[in-house]
Amino acid sequence: MSLPHLDVYLESYQLALIDDSNPKKGRCIVALEPLSRGSIITTSQPLATVTLQANRNEFCNYCFKKPQAMSPKVMPLQRCTQCRAAYFCNVSCFKNAWLGYHQFVCKASSTSASNKAASSEDPDTLDAEMLERVALNVGRYNQKEKNDRDAFGEEGERQEETVDVTMEAFLSLMGHVEDQPKNVLNRYKRIADGVLKKPYIASLGLSQQQLVEFLCWFQCNNFSIQDNQMFTIGEGTYPVASLFNHSCRPNAVAMFDGALLNIRAIVDIPSGEEVTIAYIDAAHSRTVRQKTLREKYFFNCDCVRCTDNTFFGQIDTMLGEEETDWDRAQRVLDPSNTKDNLRQEIAKQVEGDSWDLLEMCRIYDRKSNCVPKPSKPLTLSTYAHCFVQFFSPYLWSSHNPRLLITSPSLHNYRAQVDRLEDPQPPAARPPVRDTADEILSTSISLALSYPTYPGALIPYRLSTLAAATSYFYDMMADGHWENSVKIGMYIAIQYCFIYPQYHPIMAQHLLMLAKASWNSIVQLELLHHGRALDKLYDNGFRRWIALSKETIQSTFGKQSDQWREVLELEWIFMREQKLK
């Protein structure tokens, strides 16, 4: 299929869309030049978006931005006076939405019975809404195509994504119509028939079959839109971003800036290499990942994490199979979760006397080469403190030039190490390994060498991580800072195994850990009537700040709220240090 606008557009981003040798995989995007970690590889405009009902009055229904509640200069969202169902940040967003789709939906929803259905959160309603918006765009584009053809943009600089680029990408997407089970196709036919009954869709000249195809495309191409805290707030059709294939160990991530989607490199990507993103959360067992990818996207994943039977194979063995089909956001926010046995065991270990944060930090100091006794099972505390020795800060390069992720000058390197009061690599215990992979391999072998007992909590299992994540969020919400630090430290270790080093979930978590550490210091100092606390606390906080800064830079970027928050935290800490 010839895609002249799209090819020129991608080339302006140093990317090419090429056919994969495996026809079932379709095409893939490769880098034409080296792409550096943290850089935005390309941006993608939505062809259509739908907000989740629960968020409709929190985010602008057009740009998906949220007014900063605390800022007096920012206007609150304005509700459409006609349908009273959609919210916009200003007249400009309202006008854009009106021209695109709102004029149709607004009239229809104020009069028709479908108004009631549209207010529910069921998948058919979301699919129907998305279908209407996409159909409107495609129908109008088809009409425009009859009349004119736009000229290509200039070569040599990054181009704007024109409607032609978006449409060419959209109309070339893979939908696996032939692979869909009959019941799904029947459901799609029902949705398409419902949508076709609306006069503004019927007039576009699109057939039921075309609309069913669009619904199939949504299934294997659409993105969940996330807010800046990474909670899902809507769904979007992003045709250009949909061209990126999946890997469970990706080299890029999809990051939202309101309704705009940025694809960002999370490692240095050499020229000629395929750029991949993850379609699903990597915090799942190999079996669940592969099943989800087969059922929703119709392929057998042969990425490095799924096929490697040494390093990644060991990680998947470690994580285990004991997971329900949990979705982190849902589980974390589900209050009934507290009845979970595993959660109770976690609470017991964290809140019991055997986990004294300061004492454990002293025992597992990086100069002492301490590992828990192998005659006993690992507890959360021994696991977390022991593995922090291995991972931090050497897993994040700036402290160890030999990890070759960044190459800071020796001066900077020494300054960082001195500031964290960490030993130089030759003096560190356990010895610092040359590469992140070696650190991980050593850690996996160590973890797996401990005995497990039936019914006892196994720290490195996915089920433990799921319960711990829910417990962590509760502790943060209730202001139990010391408990948050303990369990947050454990979660950070688990993330080291599961996610690539520079991953937004890791960045977000490290920032929360840094906040919890700071609040815990303040709380403890108040309890001790202003006496300065042990230096170990300060060093712990410095470490989480240093790691969050480095990780946020490469994932959310320096324009993000996360970056502003981490700088603010650092500033407050420095000020307090000066005043002590």
Nearer to ligand SAM, 25 or 187 (CB): 25
Which window, 24-32, 42-50, 147-155, 454-462, contacts ligand SAM (CB under 6 A)?
24-32
- Closest approach, Cβ 282 to ligand SAM, in A, equals 14
- Our finding on whether 377 is near ligand SAM (CB under 6 A) is no
Taking the CB of residue 425, how many other CB atoms lie within 10 A of it?
18
Residue list 172-191, contact with ligand SAM (CB under 6 A): 173-174, 176
- Our finding on whether 298 is near ligand SAM (CB under 6 A) is yes
- Judge whether 489 and 357 are in contact, CB under 8 Å: no
Which window, 20-28, 115-123, 254-262, 544-552, contacts ligand SAM (CB under 6 A)?
20-28
- Our finding on whether 200 is near ligand SAM (CB under 6 A) is no
Q: Which residues contact 16 (CB under 8 A, 6 or more apart)?
A: 7, 10, 29, 30, 32
- Our finding on whether 297 is near ligand SAM (CB under 6 A) is yes
- Closest approach, Cβ 464 to ligand SAM, in A, equals 29
DSSP code for 94: H
Nearer to ligand SAM, 245 or 483 (CB): 245
- Closest approach, Cβ 275 to ligand SAM, in A, equals 11
Q: How does strand 245-246 pair with strand 276-277? A: parallel
C-alpha dist (Å) from residue 30 to 19, 35, 159 = 10, 11, 18
Which window, 244-252, 355-363, 501-509, 535-543, contacts ligand SAM (CB under 6 A)?
244-252
Which window, 23-31, 140-148, 249-257, 430-438, contacts ligand SAM (CB under 6 A)?
23-31
Taking the CB of residue 572, how many other CB atoms lie within 10 A of it?
12
The residue within the footprint of ligand SAM, chosen from 301, 315, 457, 512 (CB under 6 A), is 301
- Closest approach, Cβ 297 to ligand SAM, in A, equals 4
- Closest approach, Cβ 247 to ligand SAM, in A, equals 6
- Our finding on whether 59 is near ligand SAM (CB under 6 A) is no
- Judge whether 317 and 453 are in contact, CB under 8 Å: no
- Judge whether 132 and 114 are in contact, CB under 8 Å: no
- Our finding on whether 201 is near ligand SAM (CB under 6 A) is no
Which window, 242-250, 402-410, 475-483, 549-557, contacts ligand SAM (CB under 6 A)?
242-250
- Our finding on whether 273 is near ligand SAM (CB under 6 A) is no
Taking the CB of residue 361, how many other CB atoms lie within 10 A of it?
17
- Our finding on whether 252 is near ligand SAM (CB under 6 A) is no
Please state, in angstroms and rounded to a whole number, the distance separating the CA atoms of residues 282 and 247.
9
Q: Which residues pair with 265 in a beta bridge?
A: 252
C-alpha dist (Å) from residue 576 to 90, 418, 479, 541 = 41, 19, 21, 13
Which window, 21-29, 407-415, 502-510, 516-524, contacts ligand SAM (CB under 6 A)?
21-29
C-alpha dist (Å) from residue 255 to 170, 293, 488, 517, 550 = 20, 21, 23, 27, 17
DSSP state string for 213-225: HHHHHHHHH-EEE
What would the two tokens of residue 63 be?
Answer: 């740009």
Residue list 102-161, contact with ligand SAM (CB under 6 A): none
As a 3-state breakdown, the chain gives helix, strand, coil percent values, each rounded to 5, of 55, 10, 40
- Closest approach, Cβ 305 to ligand SAM, in A, equals 11
Nearer to ligand SAM, 25 or 79 (CB): 25
- Judge whether 253 and 9 are in contact, CB under 8 Å: no
Nearer to ligand SAM, 299 or 499 (CB): 299
Max Cα-Cα span within the chain: 78
The residue within the footprint of ligand SAM, chosen from 44, 226, 237, 245 (CB under 6 A), is 245
- Judge whether 457 and 345 are in contact, CB under 8 Å: yes
Binding site residues, ligand SAM, CB under 6 A: 25-27, 173-174, 176, 220-221, 242-243, 245-247, 297-299, 301, 303
